[in-house]
Amino acid sequence: MTKGFKQVHGLDYDEVFSPVCREDIFRVLVALSAHFGVELEHLDFKTAFLNGILEETVFMSQPDQFIDPEEKEKVCLLQRAI
């Protein structure tokens, strides 16, 4: 969630998930690949979450660096997931 306004204590922000494997698991995969002569490939999707389609209407406040002094009350309508 942007800025975490909808997080629930004890449910959302006490646990962190990251879609990466542990270093020892990676080493085992490399060792198995070398042992069986299998070629490994690696993919990195840098923009995987930038292109996510939102299923609901989401507004966020203006980023601090880009607030227009004459229009401080305006908000941003998100068209893609952040």
pLDDT tens digit sequence for 5-30: 666 776 666 556 666 778 999 899 99
Query: Which residues are bridge partners to 72 per DSSP?
Result: none
Residue 82 lies inside a defined structural domain of this protein: no
Element (H, E) at 18: none
Task: Quote the pLDDT of residue 1.
Answer: 44
Beta carbons of 2 and 60 less than 8 angstroms apart: yes
CA dist., res. 78 & res. 68, Å (int): 18
Number of domains in the chain: 1
pTM greater than 0.85? no
> Which residues span the domain enclosing 13?
2-77
Please state, as a whole number, how many other Cβ atoms lie within 10 Å of the Cβ of residue 76.
Answer: 13
